[in-house]
Structure 1
């Protein structure tokens, strides 16, 4: 099995206008999804991320997020196990946020670096 990071991307400006109750209203469905992945032996860890943060470059530290030009920003992550990227993508497609059209998920293999 390989490790994959599911990078959850949502409209951070829209999220910043929501109350915590509104923002986290999908948590029960997300937890059921996580429980199903864990029951299948594919879940490692994951967390939602705060909207605010710092964007660090060589010459600047910006703190007025969201920082990227695009509408979407990273709102959370999950680390899973899958046989290959196709299975990881299939798991990501079952995410309730993706199915509702609220978020997109970027699926990235985690590279194993032997020290």
Structure 2
């Protein structure tokens, strides 16, 4: 099964980079095992652009869609046998210990 991991944090990455744990060991481990298919760190929310189309007009807004202190700072795609294995992989992610990781299966 494939799962999307949304790695979330409530710190501002552009100002609190030293508070973000190093995830390179986790990445290397799960790339080697084949559980991690793809992933990356995201640019800070200040670099986001929200796109909406209303009445045929493209509307752009600077910044993220949701106004919240907690932001998505990265993502990973997992390919594992089941939810239990996905949870075990996510529980080892350093950000699960200082932030939050949302895990969602791909739709059928």
- TM-score, scaled relative to structure 2: 0.78
Match of 1:74 among 72, 75, 87: 72
Q: Which residue of 2 aligns with 1:95?
A: 93
Matching of residue 4 in structure 1 with residue 7 in structure 2? no
Provide the secondary structure at the position in 2 that maps to 1:69.
coil
Q: Secondary structure at 1:57's aligned position in 2?
A: strand
Q: Which runs of 5+ in 2 are unaligned?
A: none
> Which runs of 5 or more structure 1 residues have no equivalent in the other structure?
none
Partner of 1:16: 14
Match of 2:51 in 1: 56
CA contact (8 A) 2:35 2:78 kept: yes
Q: Provide, for residues 74-111 of structure 1, a one-character-per-residue CA deviation record: whole Å limited to 9, x for no partner.
A: 11101111111222122111111212x1x211101123
Q: In structure 2, what is the equivalent of residue 104 of structure 1?
A: 100
CA RMSD of aligned residues (A): 2.1
Structure 1 partner of 2:32: 39
What secondary structure sits across from 2:48 in the alignment?
Answer: coil
TM-score, structure 1 as length reference: 0.74
Tell me the distance in 2 between the aligned counterparts of 1:111 and 1:34.
24
**CA 111–23 in structure 1, closer or farther in 2 if over 3 Å, else same:** farther
Higher relative strand content: 2
